[in-house]
Every structure is written in structure tokens, then in C-alpha cells.
Amino acid sequence: MELTVLTPRSQRPHRRLPPWLKRPLPSGDFTHTTAIIAESGIATVCQEAKCPNLSECWSKRQATFMILGDKCTRRCHFCAVQTARPDPPAEDEPDRVAEAVARLSLRHVVLTAVSRDDLKDQGADHFARCVRAIHGRCPGTTVEVLPADFQARRECIQTLCDARPELYNHNIEMVEHLTPKIRPQAKYRRSLEVLRIVKEIVPPMLTKSGIMVGLGETIDELHRTFEDLRAVDCDVLTIGQYLQPTLADHAPVVKYYTPDEFRELGQHARSLGFVGVASGPFVRSSYNALEVFTESRRRATVSGKPGR
């Protein structure tokens, strides 16, 4: 009788990455950025989510701050951020974020956060305080917010909109049929409702969303998702390749899209009327966020629909 030895899932070899998914080693101001972020004591999604663009962005003094701690109340099967009971919000975090933004001389900053379903207001007031602190400390800096869905509660979205970020970003993440399995505590239609409410509260504000590909979706499903986002007047779209953070705990990669396929997806999105589109293997919600925001605002202004 033959003995079959099963290799633990955590020890199975990683699927070989295609050649276009290679990243350069750190250079430039990487060390300087690392030091400032460490001194601030603020988490970054770059580190917590194991972003493949960390070395490139930090070398250019670009980082995405993750406020409200580094422990999330939700467990999504694509995300590397840990799920655990979060700590209370740090009262001095808004000031520390603003100071870090000033020291890095950021012209545009992206603020994201873990989901805080444990808080009465989902963390909306703390988020708004961080936006106001940055505007107060760095009046020339534009702020892009990337919050969780706040369970689509209008009063929470209103609180953050009242702080007047220049861009409101909320990710749809993936096509509708994959959402229940991979994002069990989120809802596809609820994310669309968030973006709709933002436009209802502040019509001129630019809105943005992002989607990952490679999880088993079809091209038709992606096109339908783009159309759903345009139906709620979403202005800007990012499309990037899903990369599995760990073998043991995260959804597998079903497909690696080629650069040509990303170009085709981007072209289709632009044909639907998005004023800004970033599509590529390494594109993430906050990747090259300043360039994407600047070009999107310019195109919106030209089209007669200026963002704040």
C-alpha cells in the first residue's frame, strides 16, 4: 500500500509570478519616509496590507496612512490586515497624522482606516478630525479619504463629508457574485449606496472606487461593475491585479491579467465616462494618487463638472 503524504497548505509553493509582476528594490527617500512614519506611530496600509508598491511609493515620500488602529472588525479573504478587537481611537492621532504629512511635504494624502463596526459612529468623527487637522496644518495639501462602508449610514457619511475632503474614495473591491464569499461582512450594493449618498450630500465632490481582478470574475462581470459605478456617478476608477497575501488564509489567484488586458479594461472604463482611470497590474486605490487626482480634477473641470 502506498503512503500518501499531504503537504500542509501553508507549506505549498507559491504560484510563480509572471515577469511583469516584479518590483524594484527601495531607493530614493525610502529610509527618510520609513523613519518619519515610524516616529509618528501611525499605521500605514502600505505595511499592514503588504502592498507590492511600498518600496516605490516610500522612495517618493508617498504613503497611505491607516487611522483608527491596525485591527479590523471584519475578515475579508483578500486582505492582510489582521482581524481582532480594536483598541480605542487615539485622541492625539489627528495631530500626529497632520505632523507626519507636514514632515513628508505631501501635496496629496490618502487616509484610509480599518472597519470599526465596534464604534457607535463607525469611526466617522475621528476620520473627520484627521481631515480637518491636515487641512489646518497643511492648507495646501489635498486629502483623499478611503473609509469602510460605515454600513451606508447617512449620518456617518455626512460627518466625513462635512470635513470637506477633496476626494471621497470607497472601494467596490470585486464583482457582485464574488462579494458574499470573499467579503462576507460587506455588501456590493451597500458600497454602491455609499458612493450614491456622497454625491447626494456634496454633488461637486469627486468620488472614486477600486476593483481587483484575478479572483475568478468574467470580463462581462467587470464591465457590469463599471456600469454600476457610473450609475451612481462615480468619477474615478482604479483597476489592479489581486495578489494573494498568504497561501493559508486568503483567496487564491485564479488569473494573472496581462498588461494588454489591463489596457483594454481601462479603455472600456473611459468609454463609460469616468473622468479618471488607472488600470494596471500594480494599480491600487492609492497608487500614484496625486497624479490620478490631479488629472481627474482637470478632466472634470474641462467637462463642466468640477470637483471641490
Q: pLDDT of 210-219, one tens digit each?
A: 999 999 999 9
CB 202 within 8 A of CB 228: no
Cell of 117: 463596526
Interatomic CA distance for residues 163 and 165, integer angstroms: 6
How much is the pLDDT for 86?
A: 86
Burial group, residue 3, by CB count within 10 angstroms (0-12, 13-18, 19+): exposed
pLDDT category, 30, cuts 50, 70, 90? low
CB 70 within 8 A of CB 47: no
pLDDT category, 23, cuts 50, 70, 90? low
Of the candidates 146, 233, 159, which has an alpha carbon nearest to the alpha carbon of residue 196?
A: 233
Task: Detail the DSSP E strand segments found in the chain.
Answer: 43-44, 64-67, 71-72, 82-83, 108-113, 142-146, 167-169, 206-213, 236-241, 276-279
pLDDT category, 280, cuts 50, 70, 90? very high
pLDDT category, 3, cuts 50, 70, 90? very low
The model's pTM is 0.84
The neighbouring-strand residues paired with 67 are 113
Residue type, 185: Q
How much is the pLDDT for 44?
A: 62
Q: Rounded to 5, what percent of the chain is helix, strand, coil? A: 40, 15, 45
How much is the pLDDT for 26?
A: 53
CB 233 within 8 A of CB 206: no
Angstrom distances, CA of residue 9 to CA of 5, 13, 230, 251: 12, 9, 40, 12
For the cut 70, the answer to whether the pLDDT of residue 302 exceeds it is yes
Interatomic CA distance for residues 236 and 273, integer angstroms: 9
| SS3 state at 112 | strand
* 4-8 average pLDDT score: 40
Interatomic CA distance for residues 100 and 55, integer angstroms: 18
The neighbouring-strand residues paired with 137 are none
CB 76 within 8 A of CB 46: no
Radius of gyration of the chain (CA): 19
CA 201-76-8 angle, to 5 degrees, is: 170
Domains with residue ranges and CATH for the chain: 28-302 (3.20.20.70)
